[in-house]
Amino acid sequence: MRVIQFREALREAMSEEMRKDTNIFIMGEEVAEYNGAYKVSQGMLDEFGSKRVIDTPIAELGFAGIGVGAAMNGLRPIIEFMTFNFSLVAIDQVINAAAKMYQMSGGQFNIPMVFRGPTGSAGQLGAQHSQAFENWYANCPGLKVVVPSNPYDAKGLLKSAILDNDPVIFMESEQMYGDKGEVPEEEYYLPIGKADIKREGSDVTIVSFGKIIKAVYQAADELQKDGVSVEIIDLRSVRPIDYATVVESVKKTNRLIIVEEAWPLASISTEITYMVQKQAFDYLDAPIRRITTADTPLGYAPTLVKAFLPSVDQIVKAVKDVMYR
């Protein structure tokens, strides 16, 4: 199977759907003339033209609102935020318009649109450009929230998001755009709301999503040297959450750790902890552990970045704590 970059997988997903449906267009800062801030939309202006690949001013609230209006009139916009930190400027349109329009119109208006761009930390970018908003948007009824971790998942999930009749928040990572992975040449779609067991194991379940799952893979490799078998579940979407896959895994391993790049309060890991304790409490042989970022804005210094994020050492220690307590 061929190997392509994460950014190429996203580009293929958008281009394939745009070739089939002229109602689909992409709009955002630097998506056209500059070929995308991260070169995700490279070459798309040449293929689809300036009416379907649209550069915008630095005005997130404005172009997010244009996207909602376009969706109400039968188009299928893809709105790119250069980073989801900037989506805070547009959050009124995302939360109060896109997410609520179907209900408020009595079902007269679907909002078939995608808001996509990078989330979370990406190195030394400071406190205002390093925030993860997955749990924020997942808290809002009316939205679907997708957070892929690899090129294969990214392409299949984005194609499904583009065809979805509800607004989808599609969150990536600046530090993953160059990641490479196997992606088939033939067309495929992945369902939103279905988790994937990336590695089967028998001793402990670790649930994660997005780029931080890389630390989980590294920790699992280290633990395997000590004879600990880790089952890794990639949620892939955090609204809806595939609780059933997590619960069935916990019934097998009897231990659960959730690793998430987000502040701890009201996190996705907190929600999963509640649901697993509700549905599989009697199967647990140890308390559920969650590993999140530090409960502070992210500093600029590399030492602070390292201390802020979940680490391989933290994951290994947590697994050993639940295994040998």
Residue 284: phi and psi, rounded to 5, are: -80, 125
Alpha helix stretches (DSSP H) within the chain: 6-20, 44-48, 60-72, 91, 101-104, 134-138, 151-163, 213-225, 243-253, 268-280, 302-308, 312-324
Q: Cα separation of 260 and 248, whole Å? A: 20
Contacts of 244 (CB under 8 A, 6+ apart): none
Q: Give the active site residues.
A: 60, 129
Between helix 268-280 and helix 243-253 the angle, nearest 10°, is: 60
Q: Cα separation of 176 and 195, whole Å? A: 20
Q: Are 203 and 230 in contact (CB under 8 A)?
A: yes
Ramachandran quadrant class, 49 (left: phi over 0; alpha: psi -120 to 50; beta: rest): left
Rounded-to-10 torsion of CA 147, 50, 23, 141: 30
Buried b / exposed e over 152-173, threshold 16 CB at 10 Å, is bbbbbbbbbbbbbebbbbbbbb
Helix or strand (DSSP H, E) at 55: strand 53-55
Query: What amino acid occupies position 222?
Result: E
